[in-house]
Structure formats: C-alpha cells, structure tokens
Structure 1
Amino acid sequence: MESKRCKNKRGLSFLNIFLGLYCVLVAWAAHAQNNPNLSYYFIPFTDKKNTPYNVEHPEAFLSPRAIERRQKMGIPITERDLPVSPDYVAQVANTGARVRYTSKWLNGVVVVCTDDQLTEIQKLTFVDLEGIDYLKPGETVDPPGLAKTRKQKQRSASASVATPTPPQHLAEYGQALAQNQLIGVPYLHMQGKMGKGILIAIFDTGFHNVDEIDFFQHLFEENRIVATYDFVIGEESVYEDDSHGRMVLSCMAAYKPGEMIGSAPAASYALLRTEDVSSEYRIEEYNWLRAAEYADSLGADLINSSLGYSVFDDPNMNYVAEQLNGKTALITRAANIAAEVGILVVNSAGNEGNSQWKYITVPADSPTTLAIGGIDAQGEIAFFSSIGLPSSQVVKPDVVGVAYRTTVVKNGFVGLANGTSFSSPTVCGMIACLYEAYPQLTIDQLRNAVRLSGDRSSSPDYTYGYGVPHAQRAAEVIEKDILRSKNYDFPDSGFRIYPNPYDRREGVIFIEWGKELHGKNAQLQIISSDGKLMLERNFSQIAHFGSITLKREERLLPAGTYLVKVSIAEHPVLTQRLVIE
C-alpha cells in the first residue's frame, strides 16, 4: 500500500530539498525500518599516520582525469587528499560498529553503532573526541518489498537512439525552448558546444527509471553515465528511488528533438543519491560531503546539487541565520573544499521566498558556489525563490533561471514542475557548454564570467543576484575581459582583479584574494596616477573571492590607469594596476 509524504517543513526550510513545490510520493516511507538501538555518528581521526598512500603517487586514489584537472589549474595534491588510515578504520570496525564510509577531506568515518560500541570507539587514542558528531537515530535500510540490486542492462546500438547534434531549428527544443533560450543555450549548441567532454556529478534524491526512459537512452548508448552510487543505502543502483533527480537530470541531459532538449545533452554524468526523502538529519550533509569526494576522485568538472538544508527532524540540528555565513555548515564547508580542488558547484537557491524565513539555505551560502534563484519565462522573479541575506558579504543568489513552469521529463513524458531545483541544472548545463568552449578557464574565471553575464550585473541585489545569465554575454566577458586580464604585479600571489581593463558601465569589479588571505580582514583602495584616493572598501573575514559594486558616482571615474592597494595586518601590502576604459 502506498503512502504519501509531502516534505513541507516550516521555519528556515519550506522544501529542504527543493522538490519543486510538489508533494513527493514515497511509497515506502511508512515502512522505513529503523533499529532504535543504533545511531549514526561521524568519528574524526587526529591524523593520517600509517596510511599506505602518499601525495607522490596520486594515481592510487585519484583518477587520471582528476589528476589532470588539478594539474591544469595548478592545484597541488596535499595530505587532505589522502585516504584515511586503513588501520584506524579497521580498529573502529573491531568495536562492532559498522563503518558506512570514510571521509578523506575531514579525516574520519561515518559509522552506525550502539551506545556501548561508541564508548569503545571513544577509547581509541587516534579518535578526536571533541569532533564526534551525532548524525541520525536508527539505521536506514531498504524497505520490505524493494530488493535493490543493480540493474544490468545489455544495450546494443539502436537506430532509434539519436546522438546529440546541434539543433537546426529552435523548434527542436520542444517545450524546453523558453528555459534554454532565456540563458542563451542555443547560442552555444548551434556552435556545436553541447557539453561534450564535461563531467557533471548530480547529487539528488534518486533517479527513478532513468535507465528505462527514452529521453536518456543516448547517455547509455554512448556510455556517458560514468558512475552511479547511492550514499543513503550504500550500493551502486540509483534507479529505483525518488523521481526528483530524474527531473533534474532531464533539464540538462534530455534529448528527444521536437519534444525536449536539455541544456547539456552531450555531457557525461555521475548520478549520486545523497538525500533520503523519508527523513531529514545531518547524515545527509555527510552523504553530500562523501559524494563530493567521490566526484573529485572521478575528475568531475561540475556538481549540480538541487538540495539544501536548515531545518531537521531533530531541532538540535537546525541552523540559524547567523550560521549561513559561507563557512559554518558542514555541507557548505564541503562545497568550499570542492571548489578548492577545482570543481564548480552549482546549487539551487531554495524555495523559501514565500515563507516566513524567505532566505537561502546551505550550501547555497558558500561564496564559491553558484546559487541559482528562480524566475518565470518572462524574467519575473518566482514567488517562491529564496533571497540572499542582507547581512552577507556576497551577493546571493548569484544568478537566476527558469524555475516556474519548468519543462522536465516525468515518468516517460514531458511535463512541468516548479522550483529552483530545476533552474539550477538548466544553468549548470549552460555552464558545461561554456566550459567546453573555453576549457582553459579556471573555475573562478568560469564562475565570474557567468555572474558578469547577468542582466543585472551592474547593480546586483539579493533577489535576482546578478540577474539572468546569458551564454553569449558570458563568451564576450571571457574574450574581452578574462582572457585579456593581466595580474601585473603579483603573478604568483593569487591576488587578482578583473575585468582588467575594466569598463565603467559594468558596475562590478571582481576580486580573487588568493588562498593565503582567507579569513583575514582587508582594506582595498583604488588610487589615481596622481595619488588621489578614488575609492575605498573594507572587507572582513574574506573568502576566496569578493566583489565591489560601484555606486553611481563611482562609475564616473575617468579612464586611465589606477593603482589598487590592499592592506592586510601582518601581511605585505598587495598592489595591482587597474586599467579603466
């Protein structure tokens, strides 16, 4: 017997996993089995001693694609990338606790155990006692009647399965034309840029029947589903669970000309289940973290996450507004690390706009994550789209896409759905095509090109962010500003300002601070060639990047060459020349 469960949690989260404002049918929710004597915990370790791995041989724990991505962006492989000590894991398992998975980035394990087993774990000398985190009561297992075994399908080439080719007519996009055209997807597709060679990891609730629906068959025929994994249960198959991930995937990957073409049908995908729709606990943040580590090891270029958290079934786990600061929530920290290793995270802003809370949730607060808000096909803000916190030092959402009456693939047919869950993948697919066109970009450059392409980039706000991005404008920003920019004085410091040369009409100057300056306070001054102070801004607890939105009078700065001076306590003064056109 089926039971309906509509996740409608008030407070900070109206729909914590952004299920598009619809009630999800979870046939097995009423039957989910929990052992009351067991609980989930994260057990952190103090070090990585006795690990057989080392940074000199990353091929033992990273794929060739992942290593290539690091090399391309000049990102070093560090101890954080090393897998946890197998000896430590074995000692934890010897207590009788069941190790669900390890986390190399946080150096620990997620376990399911009894109170007595936890006591034994706490006696281990390498366990960081202060960092132990309670995640969830009970144990998540398969419900009765759902024997989840990986589906092995033998597919042969079929004339009925079309390989994605550049559309010849806009009508080929079918009902998905408006959501794609608004952000310039056809501009890239008609140049042959449809996401080929880009690997997108999708974190979601499940991908029900994706392996059976003809809109996705090209992915299987061409072996472009490179990996699947269910981090909720702990197995490879993801095709028996919730349908939300299928609709998200369709916004990017669907290909059936005349009915629907997604924004990146030629990309490759990793389908990863991290969200359990039957409950809401911190374990799902750790699932997200582990999936991000897995995506990193695969060599993923982008992560699309139509998920977000703030309110949980255990009120003690809830986040408050002050914690949405881009560095506190576990999932936000995971998103920040993903960016540090070279993955661009694209995340739904959330569906809180019509609730009492109305703000974004985590990890959309991450300064390195592109948080995607929602509009309708006419460009008006969707009533449910979450807004940014006015107290934030970064503009959120970053950009917006169609989230109201978005075209998606349902169970074998095209339909409509609402929610920023669907604006996020549509924009993510456009970014994948842009990345294919400009593979030399770093993810910071790619991220900021998307922001600068927004139709409100000269005056961003906390509702639309930088506005509606557009692929053609992004390409122009890349060609004119980013690829022409020069880091004149400190080429190795990581400190960089762009666009440079800067067009006063754009209204926003972006800053890459460099890793050494994270968390510090800084004063930035722009000084004319005759020594006159023209502009001054103070930044506190700086993240990897920032921005300066020029006031109306500041946009009247005369064309010329200026000195940008950055003063930071206990750090040499940084300077860079800025050309204003």
Structure 2
Amino acid sequence: MFFFCVFLIGSSFAQEAPVPQRYWVLFKDKPAPETTALVSEAALQQRRLRHLPLAQFSDVPVHQAYLDSLSSQGVTVTSVSKWLNAAAVLASPAQAKALQQNSYVKELRPITGFFVPSQTASPFQPQYVGKALTQLKPEAILAAGLTGRGVKVGVIDAGFYEAPKKAGLHPIFQEGRMRAFRDFVNPAHSQTFDQRESFLDSHGTDVLLCLGGADPKDRVLSGFAPSADYYLARTDHGKRETRVEEAYFVRALEWMDSLGVRLVNSSLGYGTGFDNPAENYRPEQMDGSSYLARAVQVAVEEKGMFIVIAAGNDGGNKKWRVVNTPADAAGVLTVGATDYSTWTKQGYSSIGPTFLPYLKPDVVCFASSGTSFSAPVIAGLAACLLEANPALTPAQLTRILQRSSHLYPFGNNFVGYGVPDAGKALALAQGLTDSPAEAAPVQVSGHRFVYTPARGSAISENGGIVLFRKASATRVISQQKLSSNVKKIVVKRLPGETHTTLQVGPQVMELVWL
C-alpha cells in the first residue's frame, strides 16, 4: 500500500490524502446499438447451434458517455464489463459519494477481498496427471480418436511462462492451434511466454498441460484435448493480488465469447487468505451472488459457454473450507480433487456450502497438488464430448458428466457426483445409451446395517470401499475408507447421521436411516 501526502503551507504537519478504493459502478441503461455486428460470426454460429438468441442486450457496449463522465470526475476506470453494464473504478470516499448522485448510476458497491490461486506449494508433477486420465477410464475416448479437434477452448489463468518450450505443448504451438493470447494484467504485452513476473506465471502452463498436453516423442498424454484450438488469457499478477483481477476475469470471458469460444477452464478463485483479512469475502458470501459469479451465469445462460472452475484448496482451512467464487455459481461445472486409490476427497479440496440450493462440487478427479490440476482434466474430457456432439448445451454437458460419475445419483458436498467415467459420458453424449436408471435408496430401521461384498478386483479398481456419512441427503459429516479385502461391512449409525452412501467399487448404495 502506498501513502500519498501533501504539505500545508504554514503548517509543520503533513496530512495524508484519502487512499483510493475500488468500486463496481453499475449503470442504469445502455444506448441503442449503432450496428448489429456486435460479436463475430463464429459467436453467432455457436448461438444458432444452441438455439440461443442472436441479438442479446448484454452484447451492447457500455455507454461511452458514462465512462467519459466518470473520468471527468477524477475517477480512474480500471476495467469495463458490457455483460454487467458496469465499470471497475478507483475512487476516494468523497468521489464515491459523489458518484452515487449521478443519474446514470444504478448502484455503487465496494470491491473487497483478494484472489486465492487454486494451488498448493507442492510442485506440479506430470506423472500424476496420467493417473487422473487413467482414473476416468479413457479407453473409449482414445479408441474413438477424440482429441478435442475443432473445439475452441479458453484458459483463464495467472500466466503461461515458457509454455511453448514444454514438450507436451509443442504440437499446440507448432501447429498454430494457440489461436490467441491476451494479457489483461499488462495489456501492452502481446506475448508473455518468455517473461516471468511472479512465481504464479507458470501456473497456466501447468494447467494447459493437464488440459491438452501430449508429448509426441515420448508418447505421453497428459490431457484429453491435445488437438483443440486454444485461447489464453492472463488475468492475475502473483505479486499484487487485488480484486481488480475479478474484472479482468470478466473481460477475458467477454473477449473469448466474441471469438466464438464455447468451453472455458479456469483454476482461479476468489475468497480468503490474502493480505488484509478485513478485505476478504466471508464464507456465507459464497452463494453465487458475487459480480464474477453473475458474469459467469451470463456466459453460461445467455452465451452458451461451458465453464469449468476449480473448487479451490481451502478444504483443510477450518475457518473457510468452502469453494471460492465463481466456483459457487450454479451454472458452472465445479471440479474438486480426490485421492487416487479410494476416490475420497483430498484433504485440501474445498467443499460445497451447505446453504446452497444446488450441489457443489459437481464432479471430481485425482490431483496430487491442488484442484487447479483436476479441473483441466475434466475440461479436456468435455472438449472431447463437444467434438463428438457439437450441439450439446452447457446444461446437457453438465448433466452428462454428472450422470456418468460413480456416485450418481447420490451426490454430496465433498465429491459431488464423484469421478466421471469417460466411456459412459461419451455414450450419453452420442445418444448411444439412455441415462442410467436412478437406484432407489435402501430404508434401514435401527442403527446397524450389514452388507457382504462380492469378491473381485473391480472393487479396488473403482475406488475401493468408502462410507460417506451424512447429516442430510448431501451434507457429509465424515468420509470413511475401508479395506477392499474386508469380508463383511458393518455400518453403525452415528449421532446425527440421516443418510449414508456406501461405495463398494462400482456398486453404490444409499442408506436412509429411519
């Protein structure tokens, strides 16, 4: 934080000028568009494919006269969002008070809080990404030759330092499938692949490897979508983490939509844990109501974009635990992280708030060092499904991934509906199979349930034996791992336990205690 001061003539004391604060300024209206060509033909084609309105009010730019008026009042405009019809500004308290008197201002709200990257201090380990692909049973995807070809994929992250030098990313750059890059932190930079400003500037590179990495020399596949077309956006600066980056995130979404991008992955999230704790969000605010979450909803519902977001790594933080925003938004596919052998929630993986009327996370897969690296694996699978059926809507694609997951329909706020099966998802996407029949819960009288599992390797190959003990249909009290060699499973009801999901390899039962 910088302090500015002025010296008063005739006084020996210095007076500090008020420190500017960040605000969202929401405008009341927009002018009528002067042209119908507000987005690219590629974006219009995507809307036709998904039967979305071609002309959308959210495409209309913010009224330039309003922005000019803000500047004339000494307010610094740092970002503009046409979707939200808003501007992010820097203003002193006195300026903010004056802004509210303008007839064109609908609302003025402080921007508080700090960015929390969805990663841990552990270094990225490529060999673990292979485990995630294996966990999702990729055989059907590989046999069909699906690699995300023709699908436009956006990645919003902290930086892509040395991405062209990574062996697994050589094909993307050498074949010209890195279609566009924009740095919203430092707009003057046309490329930042050879510039490193912070330790986070390689984060996007590692994410990209999980999404579309393929090393042709060593024949190592680290992501499902090596043949997709990529549009990269840098929206975070690791050394100065302020909430203005939420505005950069929104601008990146708008830019990608204008280019016809229909699938976006981001491993960024905003919540708590940075700099001044007084400026963080509160856990109860992770309810899909943030401005970033609202913009994401516009992307999904109006623009037909499929958004994949990492759940975050606050699962072990007793003061927080829940997903960050925009992972809290109803329309996005929120991805958590699991253990590899038992498919239980990794300790760091954030959980879904119990007050949400919808389930978060949606699905999970293995990642050793952060949900940053589970989300792009699922995004790569989604790219393959869109290659197989380009007409899929975001809602359809979300349901396919949920219904192909191993716990469906008995999801919970630890792991969502579980780990997707890529083969099942492909069959659903191609209409080759109906949605799986939803098993009926097992009514249990008393406080004890006994089950004898069948023997076989399928148990250990499909997540082993796990109990999700719950205080409601979705709220987990605890997860319990059992040996895959146990001969008899005895479940004794815990105090407050109303539901128990019993996972025995590929078989899942839902116990409802009477």
Tell me by how many angstroms 1:184 deviates.
3.0
Unaligned runs of 5+ in 2: 5-17, 115-125, 442-500, 502-507
CA displacement, residues 446-473 of structure 1 (integer Å, 9 cap, x when unaligned) = 1100000101113212212111101111
Counterpart code for 1:101? S
Q: 2:172 maps to what in 1?
A: 219
How far apart are the structure 1 equivalents of 2:39 and 2:236? Answer: 25
Structure 2 residue 398 is matched with structure 1 residue 455 = no
User: Could you say what secondary structure the match of 2:365 adopts?
Assistant: strand
Q: 2:146 maps to what in 1?
A: 193
How far apart are the structure 2 equivalents of 1:381 and 1:46? Answer: 44
Tell me by how many angstroms 1:278 deviates.
2.2
How far apart are the structure 1 equivalents of 2:307 and 2:389? Answer: 18
2:202 to 240, 243, 246: 243
CA displacement, residues 397-421 of structure 1 (integer Å, 9 cap, x when unaligned) = 11111111xxxxxxxxxxxxx1010
Kept in 2, the 8 Å contact 1:174–1:259? The answer is no
Q: 1:42 maps to what in 2?
A: 24
Counterpart code for 2:176? N
CA displacement, residues 50-107 of structure 1 (integer Å, 9 cap, x when unaligned) = 6534xxx2x3x21111111111112113212211122322333344544333211111
How far apart are the structure 2 equivalents of 1:233 and 1:382? Answer: 35
How far apart are the structure 2 equivalents of 1:506 and 1:452? Answer: 15
Q: 1:394 maps to what in 2?
A: 358
State the Cα RMSD in Å: 3.0
Gap change, CA 1:207 and 1:34, over 3 Å in 2:
farther
Q: 1:323 maps to what in 2?
A: 285
How far apart are the structure 1 equivalents of 2:360 and 2:382? Answer: 18
Unaligned runs of 5+ in 1: 1-31, 138-172, 405-417, 485-498, 508-548, 555-581
Structure 2 residue 48 is matched with structure 1 residue 68 = no
How far apart are the structure 2 equivalents of 1:434 and 1:84? Answer: 35
Gap change, CA 1:446 and 1:197, over 3 Å in 2:
same
User: Could you say what secondary structure the match of 2:48 adopts?
Assistant: helix
Q: 1:276 maps to what in 2?
A: 237
Gap change, CA 1:230 and 1:457, over 3 Å in 2:
same
Counterpart code for 1:377? Y
Counterpart code for 1:244? H
Q: 2:472 maps to what in 1?
A: none
How far apart are the structure 2 equivalents of 1:213 and 1:504? Answer: 44
CA displacement, residues 155-176 of structure 1 (integer Å, 9 cap, x when unaligned) = xxxxxxxxxxxxxxxxxx9764
How far apart are the structure 2 equivalents of 1:267 and 1:506? Answer: 40
Structure 2 residue 439 is matched with structure 1 residue 505 = yes
User: Could you say what secondary structure the match of 1:335 adopts?
Assistant: helix
Q: How does 1:432-451 map to 2 (within 5 A)?
A: 432-451=383-402
Q: 1:103 maps to what in 2?
A: 81
Tell me by how many angstroms 1:313 deviates.
3.6
Kept in 2, the 8 Å contact 1:52–1:85? The answer is no
User: Could you say what secondary structure the match of 2:23 adopts?
Assistant: strand
Structure 2 residue 213 is matched with structure 1 residue 254 = yes
Q: 1:10 maps to what in 2?
A: none
Q: 1:468 maps to what in 2?
A: 419
Kept in 2, the 8 Å contact 1:100–1:234? The answer is no
Kept in 1, the 8 Å contact 2:338–2:365? The answer is yes
Kept in 1, the 8 Å contact 2:311–2:361? The answer is yes
Gap change, CA 1:392 and 1:42, over 3 Å in 2:
closer
Kept in 1, the 8 Å contact 2:80–2:247? The answer is no
How far apart are the structure 2 equivalents of 1:105 and 1:82? Answer: 8
Q: How does 1:548-559 map to 2 (within 5 A)?
A: none
Q: 2:349 maps to what in 1?
A: 385
Q: 2:315 maps to what in 1?
A: 353
Kept in 2, the 8 Å contact 1:180–1:186? The answer is no
Q: 2:13 maps to what in 1?
A: none
Normalising to structure 2: TM-score of the pair? 0.72
User: Could you say what secondary structure the match of 1:395 adopts?
Assistant: coil
Percent sequence identity is 32
1:477 to 398, 420, 428: 428
Gap change, CA 1:223 and 1:38, over 3 Å in 2:
farther
How far apart are the structure 1 equivalents of 2:164 and 2:431? Answer: 42
